[in-house]
Structure 1
Amino acid sequence: MSASSFPGGTSLSHLDIYDGAAPDGICGGSPHMHLVSTEAYLVVEGRGALQTIDGDGFRETDLEPGSVVWFTPGTIHRAVNRGGLKVLVLMSNAGLPEAGDAVMTFPAEIVGNADAYAEAASLGEAEGRAERAARRRDLAVTGFEALRDAVVAGDRGPLEDFHAAAGALVLHRAAAWGQLVRERPLAQAERSLALTEAVARGDVAHLREARVHEAPSPAGERAFGMCGRIRAYDVTDQENPR
């Protein structure tokens, strides 16, 4: 993994929330959950909402320009687009979501079967990907509705079952996640600690190493993400010409 001094070992993306309607008539993305990473939205344009299921139950948080909302691991979230919703996404543990730290809320019989889940989650070849992304979203919404309705009715059993099934789905790849955390957020925290100790000793030699870094503008087609069309910024450290 390339070195990055971007704050906190995080990743940064620009996300246009899907504007097509799911079967329930609500426009937006595929509900899903991260098992380890915390995610933050900074709304830059449009309006919408974030529907969530967490330890406190079901909630809907309105989103408008300037809104900042973040959600910790285990928060099932669905981005709702009520008109031109665009957000900047800050994700902890850069590289971890791409390594499988996300499970969509497909119906229980799919989440409980690794092969069925992989087939439902796959977007396949480039041609027809938009239609497959919409079908994937609709399937995740179906499972989300079942979890939401159960929690609202006071039954947390389906949610606990989803947590267990999600853990089982990622178990085979989770052992590699520790290295990603060590290379980015942990390494940065240890570097910061070392600097504070150096300054406390009167040693400020590291100040000579100060540099400005700039992320290049994302190029090419936006990818089909879980919540919308996404462009990830490359926040690895790059040499700036003088």
Structure 2
Amino acid sequence: MPFLWYDPTMILLLPAILLAMYAQFKVQSTFARYSRIPARSGLTGAEVAREILRDNRIYDVRVELTPGILTDHYDPHNKVLRLSPQVYNSSSLAALGVAAHEAGHVIQHQYGYVPFNIRTLIVPVAAIGSQLAFPLLFLGLVFGLRELAQIGVIAFSAAVLFQLVTLPVEYNASSRAIEALEVGGYLTREETPHTRKVLSAAALTYVAATLTAVLQLLRLMLISGFFGRRDE
């Protein structure tokens, strides 16, 4: 069976794999570079995040330290903004950009930004779809159950939808971050372009993830026979 031994459709993923590798290198190198440059404000990422929330009259979200490297995220269910040590404790241009970006997600939640709400709603569906997709596809191909394989592909499409919705959410959060840093005076006009580079590099990782998901979906559709192909 081609799926088990040799699958020529894997070549479809090559552009996404290359982009993902470049994006990972770009975000790590850019963050490392601007982590060495302190912001003139002298504020840490945690302080800036709290200030931005206060500037937007958001008082019910905690800012906490979380372990790991670049594990920064906003938890909308518990209303907690979690920052990694290299962001929470640092006053670098990179740290302020990441902290402000996560604060941007809090602002999205607070003011009902539609793509953010959609992404939050489909998280459980996307998680289940990702877990079921490949087992269903595999079983369908092994036992010649084409419909079962196609159900697996449909399940995977939930993960693709999540990635597609994530793109505008992340770009909007970065835009809000830059605006908040400028308006609040946390960055000077000369510092802003450097922080913008950090956020642009991070955004590229989401572009790579979306491309990977879309091409993977196309590949799975080919394998399962969505376009009329029947596996021999």
The alignment's TM-score, normalised by the length of structure 2, stands at 0.26
* Structure with higher strand content: 1
Point out the structure with max Rg over C-alpha.
Answer: 2
Larger relative contact order (Cα-Cα within 8 Å, sequence gap ≥ 6): 1
The alignment's TM-score, normalised by the length of structure 1, stands at 0.25
* Structure with higher helix content: 2
